[in-house]
Amino acid sequence: MKNRERYERVKKRVFDVIQISNTSDGPSRSFDIFLVAVIVCNILALFLETFQSLKPLYPLLRGVEIATMFLFAVEYGLRIWTAEYLYPNRTKKMAVLRFLCSFYGIVELLTILPFFFLSGAVAFRMMRVVRIFHLFRINANYDSFNVITSVLQDKKNQIVSSLFIILVLMMASSLCMYSAEHQAQPDKFENAFSGMWWSVSALLTVGYGDVYPVTIMGRVMAVIISFLGVGAVTIPTGIISAGFVEQYTKAQSNEAPLDSKIMTMRVDIDSRWIGKTVAEIETDYDTLVLVIERGKAIYRPDNLLRIERGDVLGVYSRTPDKSAFRER
């Protein structure tokens, strides 16, 4: 029994250390810095391997790549091992499966798998670029990254709609340009899909000049399509900009609520809040988590942060009565 308890304590401690942006824990913070250094070294080696002038350093760069990939594999194994603490409301097997199917679980697998097993094929070697997405994990729990992800999440329907409009314009412009230019440039506009490259460069940029209309009708349509492209691109830009303004306004209102009904809640050992994310608490208890004090660190939490025993939460509720926090 004692060995089992010691095993669980070690496992939980490993989970606490490898969790990103736990600023209240010194070893965890050191692990974050170490992980950043490993990722940077790995990506730097990947870039330097493309320089022929550095060919004498290839063995060294290869050694750095092997060492960092080994560390990635170890970290991947540790995260699988401790997945039950990341998803405490699931069984061990389901927690592991949930991690393996998560975005970062897939990124880590695609980073490691081609290096050890699929390095021969060019298509699979290109998958090494996926390791760059490791950098997203470093920013995953910081406000600057959360603002971006929150805006994209809140405005996803509008963004998808605007992208659909751009896609329709691209297809329409491609068909129009094929009709106008096929006779004059059969090699450049062989079919409707051949005009897609021109339509993309015309709608989203100023054009690359490798494919361009030569007929009068084609040039007239190119002018119209270019103007439509400018307007189409500004649609998602305006949506995202408006989202940033809304998030900023929301953050300001959260930092200084007009109502004075703010409570301080300490998460005890028997609290139902342990293991829940901030988003789950705000939904289940009809409240707003404004700030979390964990150890000596005080910071504003993101929606995916899980509550731990000993946390002190500053929460805002419509009623100052603790009965309002009873789970529905």
Instruction: Pinpoint the residues of the chain covered by CATH 1.20.120.350.
Output: 2-140
Domain at 2-140, CATH from 3.40.50.300, 1.10.10.10, 1.20.120.350, 3.40.630.30:
1.20.120.350
CB atoms within 10 A of CB 76: 18
Mean pLDDT by 10 residues, the chain (328 residues): 79 80 71 82 82 87 87 88 85 87 79 65 55 58 62 81 84 86 84 79 70 85 82 80 74 52 70 80 77 76 78 71 45
Question: For position 131, what pLDDT does the model report?
Answer: 58
Outline which parts of the chain fall under CATH 1.10.287.70. 156-255
Q: Is the distance from CB of 268 to CB of 322 less than 8 angstroms? A: no
Q: How many CB atoms lie within 10 A of CB 240?
A: 17
Res 60: pLDDT: 92
SS3 316: strand
What phi and psi values does residue 22 have, to the nearest 5 degrees?
Answer: -90, 85
Helix axes 195-204, 156-181, angle to 10 degrees: 130
CATH code at 262-325: 3.30.70.1450
Place of tokens 């988590």: 289
Q: How far is CA 102 from the centre of its chain?
A: 11
**CATH number belonging to domain 156-255:** 1.10.287.70
Sheet holding 262-266, edge to edge: 262-266, 312-317, 287-294, 297-299
Can you read off the two tokens belonging to residue 171? 């297809």
Give me the pLDDT at residue 130, please: 62
